Amino acid sequence: MIFKKLGSPEWLLVCLGNPGDPYENTRHNVGFLVIDQLADRENLPVQRLKHKALTNTALIGGKPVLLMKPTTYMNLSGEAVGEAARFYKIPPDRVLVISDDVSLPQGKLRVRRSGSAGGHNGLKSIIASLDTENFNRIRIGIGAKPNPQYDLAAWVLGKLPPADRKAMTDRYPDIEDACKLLMDGNLQYAQNKFNH
């Protein structure tokens, strides 16, 4: 992914997580982990506070993109996304959200153009703010909780063990490719390539 500072964005790349040290390296913060890794690699930190998010502008596959890490906490992520989408006049079909998914095995990807929140409070907030389910998303599996009695909040807010963290980092090139394909309008190809 070639990151470069640019003018007014045509896309929003929203990576979900919770701000603050207690949430670092947790399952629920895989969106933050993805954008931090890519930004670090390109020496383009996502640090400018704007639209209730830490942001930076980048060129991804030739398209100007606003990179976003909402600072609202997960369940209010839509406040940041809606504000930025309105400000830049970006339609929902040019919003791409990267989030965790407890229903997918560790490290598995699911690329979609639309759909329900599936119980994910960040996606639920974004759907409410954009007033549509029709926006792009890449969901990253964090694995199911170990047993039915285990508290779901404790599971998603638990720290990623080294092996699980590696399962995430191994998928970063695929996540990057999926972003480019979606932004190029190649949804079907991205789904065929990564949804298996």
51 has catalytic annotation: no
DSSP 124-187: HHHHHHHT-S-SEEEEEE----SSTTS-HHHHHTSBPPHHHHHHHHTTHHHHHHHHHHHHTT-H
Catalytic-role residue among 28, 51, 120, 196: 28
Residue that the structure tokens 């954008």 belong to: 35
CA torsion, ordered 141, 175, 160, 73, to nearest 10 deg? -90
Under DSSP, the state recorded for 102 is T
Q: Which helix (H) or strand (E) holds 30?
A: helix 30-41
139-153 per-residue burial string, b: 16 or more CB within 10 A, e: under 16? bbbbbebeeeeeeee
Q: Which residues are catalytic?
A: 28
